[in-house]
Amino acid sequence: MKNVLVTGAGGFIGHHLVKYLVAKGYKVRGADIKMPEYEATAAHEFLQVDLRLHDACQAATAGMDEVYHLAADMGGIGFISGSHAEITLNNTLISAHMAKAAHDAKVGKFLFSSSACVYPQHLQTSPDVTPLHEDVAWPAQPEEGYGLEKIYMEKLCQYMHEDWGISTRSVRFHNVYGWLGTYDGGREKVPAAICRKVALCPDGGEIEVWGDGLQTRSFMYIDDCVEGLFRLMQSDYTAPLNLGTDEMISINDLVAITSRIAGKTIRMRHDLTKPQGVRGRNSDNSRIREVLGWEPSIRIREGLAPTYKWISDELAAHAEAKPTAVAAE
């Protein structure tokens, strides 16, 4: 039985990946600064540690055969566009210490969770963007802060493979969503934010949409994400690889789909002063089909239905749990 470490196991993707790997028969250690928020971890062992620290990374990797390194300081566009110093410093410390710890522990395979934020900004200025192929990341012009650290770490993974013989993977995530993901507080991604807004809005009401809603993205459901991570780890492919769907939709269309799932008629109020990220982004999946003979296939309508239901149920449960105010006599 292989010993596998999942960093970021207290977060959305890491928590789902731990469950997936345990079901596959792996002995899994989770590591994160926090425990999972919405349900107990399935990990055989969970280290609640600060992975910005060298000693914590050394303890986490000890005795491990494989590492899925998902730990990162991250969030939605509002957070990552306004926290460049915090994000860059935290993620550099986490990833650099984890890379050194994997080397010291003689880990055989090391997967790094990169991002579509590594792609050049000038290639994403139109809603009708050409799907982003892995080869266009260089010459680099990544997203400030978050994307800059990701593309740097991709190169470090390349050097780890070339110099140290560690079999590395770099996965460029394209907008992962699903149940058990953060849906409020400022770090949520757009599908969760839209689901929350629609769930809280009465039928016939209005929600705020950041930007004009014409900006486009592709979105990958969590089940496809963990399946892709596992398949890539079983392959011998070490170069960066997109992991996302190639179903591109606008934010306005995302609201419309969510509204239909909710059975509501919703009006949109567009706020052009809010951050909205690049104008368009979509995944070119030609290489993942070639490398893995597989690609994410869950369509946005299929994945949003359980996501919306879970968020709506969470909001309803929290509303019911609030104490009722008693008027003074």
The amino acid at residue 320 is E
Instruction: At 317, give phi and psi (nearest 5°).
Output: -65, -40
Residues in the chain: 329
Full domain range(s) for residue 77: 3-176+222-243
**Are residue 86 and residue 119 in the same domain, yes or no?**
yes
- Residues 6 or more apart whose CB falls under 8 angstroms from that of 170 comprise 111, 112, 114, 153, 154, 157, 158, 239, 240, 241
Asked whether residue 326 carries a pLDDT value surpassing 80, the answer given is: no
Asked whether residue 134 carries a pLDDT value surpassing 90, the answer given is: yes
**Are residue 233 and residue 210 in the same domain, yes or no?**
no
pLDDT at 41: 98
Identify whether 129 is part of a domain. Answer: yes
Mean pLDDT value of segment 141-150? 96
**Are residue 234 and residue 310 in the same domain, yes or no?**
no
Q: Tell me whether residue 68 is one of the annotated catalytic residues.
A: no
pLDDT at 285: 98
pLDDT at 81: 87
**In angstroms, what is the C-alpha Rg of the chain?**
20
**Are residue 129 and residue 95 in the same domain, yes or no?**
yes
Asked whether residue 248 carries a pLDDT value surpassing 80, the answer given is: yes
323 confidence band (pLDDT: 50, 70, 90): low
Asked whether residue 324 carries a pLDDT value surpassing 80, the answer given is: no
150-167 confidence digits (pLDDT tens): 999 999 999 999 999 999
327 confidence band (pLDDT: 50, 70, 90): very low
- Cβ density class 217-250: b for 16+ within 10 Å, e for less: bbbbbbbbbbbbbbbbbeeebbebbbbbbbbbbb
Active-site residue, from 26, 68, 119, 146 = 146
Query: Which CATH number does the domain housing residue 312 bear?
Result: 3.90.25.10
**Are residue 41 and residue 120 in the same domain, yes or no?**
yes
Question: Full-prediction pTM beyond 0.75?
Answer: yes
What percent of the chain has a predicted confidence (pLDDT) above 70? Answer: 98
The more confident residue out of 69 and 1 is 69
Asked whether residue 217 carries a pLDDT value surpassing 50, the answer given is: yes
Which pair of structure tokens corresponds to residue 258?
A: 């969510």
109 confidence band (pLDDT: 50, 70, 90): very high
Q: What is the tally of structural domains in the chain?
A: 2
Computed from CA positions of residues 48, 52, 58, 60, in that sequence, does the dihedral angle turn out positive or negative? positive
Which pair of structure tokens corresponds to residue 102?
A: 């994997």
**Are residue 36 and residue 52 in the same domain, yes or no?**
yes
**Are residue 98 and residue 134 in the same domain, yes or no?**
yes
Asked whether residue 194 carries a pLDDT value surpassing 60, the answer given is: yes
Asked whether residue 325 carries a pLDDT value surpassing 70, the answer given is: no
Mean pLDDT value of segment 191-208? 98
**Are residue 260 and residue 278 in the same domain, yes or no?**
yes
**Are residue 43 and residue 103 in the same domain, yes or no?**
yes
* Mean model confidence pLDDT for the chain: 96
Asked whether residue 322 carries a pLDDT value surpassing 90, the answer given is: no
253-280 confidence digits (pLDDT tens): 999 999 999 999 999 999 999 998 999 9
Query: Which CATH number does the domain housing residue 25 bear?
Result: 3.40.50.720
Identify whether 79 is part of a domain. Answer: yes
**Are residue 11 and residue 141 in the same domain, yes or no?**
yes
pLDDT at 328: 37
pLDDT at 253: 98
